Structure formats: C-alpha cells, structure tokens
Amino acid sequence: MEQLLRAELRTATLRAFSSPGAGCISEGRAYDTDAGPVFVKVNRRAQGCDPQPLLESELTAVFWMQARQMFEGEMASLEALRGTGLVRAPRPIKVIDLPGGGAAFVMEYLKMRSLSSQASKLGEQMADLHLYNQKLGEKSRAEENTVGRRTEGARPQYVTQFGFHTVTCCGFITQVNEWQDDWPTFFTRHRLQAQLDLIEKDYADREARELWSQLQVKIPDLFCGLEIVPALLHGDLWSGNVAEDDSGPIIYDPASFYGHSEFELAIASMFGGFPRSFFTAYHRKIPRALGFDRRLLLYKLFNYLNHWNHFGWQYRSPSLGTMRKLLK
C-alpha cells in the first residue's frame, strides 16, 4: 500500500502520523508527504453486493467498481462544495485503484475537533450555500436584461434541475442523480423509492409495502404552493460529518446533489443533531416555510430507511412509525 501511495503521489516522504481508523464504511490514515500532510481513505469491500453468484474475477471487478464509484462521487461533491467559496472542506487530490480490488481516496489533511463554538457560523455558511444557486439565477436574469452585457472568462452556471452530474453514495448505497425538473418526482423516485426497493429485496416487509403504497400518492400535497429552487447540498450533513478548527467550521464526507434545501436539515437534527445555535443562524437567513415540519418528517423518513438498509431491523420501527405519522 505505501509503495503504491509513494508512486501515485510522487513523494519520497510517506510517514504515517496517525493510527489507522475505521468508520462504518471505510478506513483512514494520515501521512506526511513531500507536498504536505494528506488523509487517505481506503475501501476494499463491495458493500451491499451479494458475492455468492459471482466468479472470483467478477467479484474483484465489483470491489473495484464499487469503491472507485463511491470515492469519485465524494471527490466530485467536494469539488462542487469548494467551488462555491462558501464552505470549507478538504481539497480532494486523487482516487487510486488498489491491487486486488478496492480503491483509496487521497485528500488534504485537516486537523479537526468536534463542532462546538463554530456551530452558529456553520449554520450561516450552510444557508449561504443553499442560497448560492438561487443568487446565480437572479444574477443571470438581471444580466440578460442588461444591454451591452459582456461576460469575461468562465463563471458558475445557474442550475435549473434537481440532481447531480455523477452518481454519489450515501454510506455504501449508490444514489442515482439523474436530472429532473420536478423536486417531488426526483425525491420520491431516486431517494425514497430507491431505499424501499432495497428493503423489499432484503426484507420483503409487508407493512412497509402497504404504508408506502398509501404515502407516495400524498407526497405532492406536502409541496403545494411551494417554489423550490435547486440548492447545492452536502447530502449527508449529520454531526459525524462536520468539525471545526481555529479557522472555522469544516464539512466532509459529502454525497452532494442539487435538491431542496430543507432536505439537508433533517439528518442535521437526527442522531445527536447539531447545537441549537446552528439552526438559529441558518433560519435567520432562510426562514421556515409553511409546512416545514411535515416535510422535515418526510426527509427524516429517507434517513431512517437508509439506516435500515445499512444497519438492519433496529431502524424498521422508526421508519414505519414515521410513515404512519405522515399518513395522519
């Protein structure tokens, strides 16, 4: 592994200065290099794939494709977030294929601590991020009405649809991000239905199937009268994917796409959640719209379903309970 890293990074220096750490999906380690410290995430597994029907050569290909796809989606997400200039995230460097399958993702190393004093600032930054595409649209329309306008050089483009230019992974589950004009359609098809298809495949849960058949026809009602402008999202903004240092807040491990800004707030309020100051600062810039609480419940449903698919039956009860609440 270290010989491969030296060659790919073109560094004579490669000195580990942290112990290997394992998350739910990948393991990671920090190294000093000629160009400065880097953090390397490694994934050798094809999570969510059933290896039984596969030949050994086919299984190696699945390992390689799954890990590379996951890291390429994360790299594209970091590039998009950093490209706004509004939030701080590690600079992605390179995705490397590993011999025998799997991949490594090399990025800038940032010394981080748990988010605390910078929570309010993160709330402001995330609101600015969610407003970024809307402001691009406003600026673009204003310039279209300006006689003699000249545009010099490349500039960020206003995004009119919901989705992303590449596949991303939330955990180890691949997310389809095909562009859609309509947010409820995108969210229902590519987020909720995709999760429920996996639950049907692995659990064949009759109650989940019945509740979903009732709920899906009611989803458009939750968005009546609401104008939703596509917002660039982190996509998995829970407390384990944010941090801070003396310079301010840091976000990492994204699964980005253009979606409804409220989607981001669901997981931010789950599984430990963020300090209240985060939400106070956020809503000063983006006030809660009518129907916010019920839509937040819908977005929490996605996260419960995603956890059911990752971690098993303990998330069945909150998933089904959330569906029942939404049907009342």
Average pLDDT for 58-83? 78
11-20, 134-143, 173-182, 308-317: lowest mean pLDDT where? 11-20
SS3 content of the chain, % helix, strand, coil (to 5): 45, 15, 35
Per-residue confidence band for 25, with pLDDT thresholds at 50, 70 and 90: confident
Mean predicted lDDT score pLDDT of the chain: 91
| Per-domain residue ranges of the chain | 1-45+64-108, 113-142+159-327
Average pLDDT for 159-171? 97
Which CATH fold would you assign to the domain 1-45+64-108? Phosphorylase Kinase; domain 1 (3.30.200)
Check residues 66 and 309 and name the one with the higher pLDDT: 309
Q: In sequence order, what DSSP letters do the residues of 207-264 get, joined into one string?
A: HHHHHHHHHTTTGGGGGTT-----EEE-S---GGGEEEETTEEEE-S---EEE-HHHH
Per-residue confidence band for 155, with pLDDT thresholds at 50, 70 and 90: confident
- State pLDDT tens for residues 166-189: 999 999 999 999 999 999 999 999
Active site residues: 236
- State pLDDT tens for residues 253-304: 999 999 999 999 999 999 989 999 999 999 999 999 999 999 999 999 999 9
The secondary element (H helix, E strand) that includes residue 31 is strand 27-33
- State pLDDT tens for residues 98-139: 998 899 999 999 999 999 999 999 999 999 999 999 999 999
pLDDT of residue 58: 33
For the domain with range 113-142+159-327, which CATH number is right: 3.90.1200.10, 3.20.20.450, 3.30.70.520, 3.40.50.150? 3.90.1200.10
pLDDT of residue 45: 62
Q: What CA–CA distance (Å, rounded) separates 5 from 33?
A: 10
Check residues 100 and 190 and name the one with the higher pLDDT: 190
pLDDT of residue 143: 86
pLDDT of residue 49: 37
- 179 neighbors 163 (Cβ within 8 angstroms): yes
Per-residue confidence band for 34, with pLDDT thresholds at 50, 70 and 90: very high
pLDDT of residue 184: 98
> Is 113-142+159-327 the same fold as 1-45+64-108?
no
Q: Is the four-CA dihedral 221, 226, 227, 229 of positive or negative sign?
A: negative
How many CB atoms are located within 10 Å of the residue 201 CB?
Answer: 10
Q: What CA–CA distance (Å, rounded) separates 159 from 137?
A: 8
